[in-house]
Amino acid sequence: MRIVVEDAPPQPLQEPLLGGRDGGGGEGAGEAAPPPPPPQPALRGGTCSTAGGVSNLVTTAVGAGMVALPRAVSETGILLGMLLFLGTAALTLCSTSIIVRYASRFDTKSYGDLVRLHFGRGGAALLQTAIVTHVGGVMIGYCVIVSDVLVGSAPGFRGVLPTLLGRHDNPWWLSRPAVLAAALCSVVGPLLVPRSLAGVARFSRFGVACVLGLAAPICLLAGPAAVEGRLAPDVRLLLDASAMGGGTPLGIATSILAVVSVSCLAFTCHFNLVPVQCSLKDPSSTHMLRVLQAALAICALVYATVAVCGYALFGSETDSDVLKNLTAAAVQRYVPPAVAATIVYGIAAAFTFNLLVNFVLKVWAVRENLVELALGTAVQRLSSPAFYGLTALLVAAAFGISIFVPSIYALLALVGSTACVTFSYFFPAALLWRLHKHPGPRAGAASMVALGAAMAAIAVYDRLHGRGE
């Protein structure tokens, strides 16, 4: 369901109507004062609860980027790293709030509709192309990561399943295509049946539980290690300028921007904001902002826990993917072997399931924007055969590319770094600039554009030089 507004002269953003008032008439039949007041907007939401909306946003945001955060903290030290995380969370809240407030104010049913209203078809096409490019690339990347975790790569095939089953000879039923296809069919397939985000929210709650299940063991390992003095010896609380970018001012700034870039990508949920808002029982901007704040707070808590505890355990040896550090041999330094194996496999299972649920919400965003871009209509207007046919095609495309042309993911990730900044920061800043004439908001918009451009440049530089995640 969507926010519906009757044809009326433009007016300021209204609060949800109360009591017996609706969008079709006045408060009482006996009142007939000429001329009648303009009709009020009637906010008609879906069936999704507040907890469901929070779960959908958290699951949208928390993905593979989380495992890169400990390495980011190792670049800056714990204190500066946490300050940067807080800053990027605030920046994300600012940019996402712009989308939520203006989507409600202008009664647009998607992010693309909002941009089309103010920047025309060309602006909407640019936005939707950026979303499809970035989110589609992430879908392919998730397929690659799930295959790596569950099966591993040649020649050893040291993934979870071959290790548990003692089969490293790559039989067809334990190959990457077979295992990935089974995961997509058994987990992703059922989650793509609902045509409402309220149905997806039930699974998103379990995805959030898996995220917490991933963060908790890392925290529980770091806590006793800190008490017993067994943390990595080179963990730094404060910034060591000489260890960042050669110690030069430009090198230090570049390293800090690289950390900000990783952090901002980890908080990205902009492309699903309006669908989540329209799925809520109360889709008012006030309520949606509360949902957004709760979701970002959970993300920040999880990210800070994983980043600090992961770095504290492994110090300068922290990998760009901290899961590579969390081997059974490494964890046995802190707990008995049987417990270590349980922790390692539990983290792998939780991470995999979270990526698969996250994959579902990525399909949701690509499908919506692709339909609007190609057909100029809302995806909800598609017939069931067209809706589910397109859904199956998107999943099959991500599967096929990840299996048969995995090298293209590097190119998609390179392009996606810029595409992500486009829909996350450039367009919210452009909306703020166009709709506010005061110098304060415009200065904020200009700062957002400048920071976004710097993050995109650093992300592209890192990937071209092999330092991207």
Percent of the chain with pLDDT over 90: 41
Would residue 16 count as lying in a domain? no
Question: DSSP per residue over 389-420, as a string?
Answer: HHHHHHHHHHHHHHHH-TTHHHHHHHHHHHHH
Closest CA to 54 of 157, 204, 169: 204
pLDDT at 175 over 60: yes
Closest CA to 104 of 248, 3, 216, 227: 3
Specify the 3-state DSSP secondary structure of 280. Answer: strand
Only one residue has tokens 């926010």, namely 3
pLDDT at 371 over 80: yes
Q: Regarding predicted confidence, which is higher, 126 or 74?
A: 126
Residues contacting 272, CB < 8 A, separation 6+: 56, 57, 60, 361, 364, 365
Which pLDDT value is given to residue 400?
Answer: 94
Closest CA to 293 of 106, 90, 15, 101: 90
Which pLDDT value is given to residue 13?
Answer: 40
> E strand or H helix at 338, and its extent?
helix 337-375
Instruction: Measure the CA angle with vertex 148, ends 315 and 357; round to 5°.
Output: 95
Only one residue has tokens 């963990």, namely 235
pLDDT at 369 over 90: yes
Would residue 131 count as lying in a domain? yes
pLDDT at 49 over 60: yes
Would residue 17 count as lying in a domain? no
Q: For the domain that residue 288 is a member of, what is the CATH number?
A: 1.20.1740.10
Rounded CA-CA distance 453/408 in Å is 24
Beta bridge partners of 4: 42
pLDDT at 146 over 60: yes
Amino acid (1-letter code) at residue 429: A
Stretch 305-323: mean pLDDT: 89
Question: Which of the 8 DSSP states describes residue 3?
Answer: -
pLDDT at 271 over 50: yes
Would residue 434 count as lying in a domain? yes
Residues contacting 94, CB < 8 A, separation 6+: 428, 444, 448
Cβ(74)–Cβ(325) under 8 Å?
no
> How many helices (H) and strands (E) in the chain?
17, 0
pLDDT band for position 370 (cuts 50, 70, 90): very high
Q: How many domains does the chain have?
A: 1
Stretch 320-333: mean pLDDT: 86
Amino acid (1-letter code) at residue 323: L
Rounded CA-CA distance 94/334 in Å is 41
Pair of tokens at residue 41: 């907007």
Stretch 208-231: mean pLDDT: 87
Instruction: Round the average pLDDT of the chain to a whole number and report it.
Output: 83
Stretch 166-194: mean pLDDT: 93
Rounded CA-CA distance 323/336 in Å is 19
Which pLDDT value is given to residue 469?
Answer: 44
Strands, DSSP E only, in 121-271?
A: none
Segment 333-353, tens digit of pLDDT? 888 888 888 999 999 999 999
Instruction: Measure the CA angle with vertex 381, ends 375 and 385; round to 5°.
Output: 90
Which pLDDT value is given to residue 5?
Answer: 38
pLDDT at 270 over 90: yes
Which pLDDT value is given to residue 387?
Answer: 95
Would residue 10 count as lying in a domain? no
Segment 87-121, tens digit of pLDDT? 889 989 999 999 999 999 999 989 999 999 999 99
Question: DSSP per residue over 87-116, as a string?
Answer: HHHHHHHHHHHHHHHHHHHTT-SSHHHHHH
Which pLDDT value is given to residue 63?
Answer: 83
Residues contacting 91, CB < 8 A, separation 6+: 264, 425, 448, 451
Segment 52-72, tens digit of pLDDT? 999 999 999 988 788 888 988
Stretch 357-380: mean pLDDT: 92
Rounded CA-CA distance 417/88 in Å is 16
Rounded CA-CA distance 8/212 in Å is 46
Which pLDDT value is given to residue 19?
Answer: 35
pLDDT at 160 over 50: yes
Would residue 43 count as lying in a domain? no
Percent of the chain with pLDDT over 70: 84
Which pLDDT value is given to residue 266?
Answer: 85
Would residue 8 count as lying in a domain? no
Quote the domain boundaries for residue 158: 50-464
Which pLDDT value is given to residue 277?
Answer: 93
Would residue 155 count as lying in a domain? yes
Stretch 44-57: mean pLDDT: 87
Which pLDDT value is given to residue 255?
Answer: 73
Which pLDDT value is given to residue 234?
Answer: 86
Cβ(352)–Cβ(213) under 8 Å?
no
| Length of the chain counted residue by residue | 469
Strands, DSSP E only, in 284-418?
A: none
pLDDT at 15 over 60: no
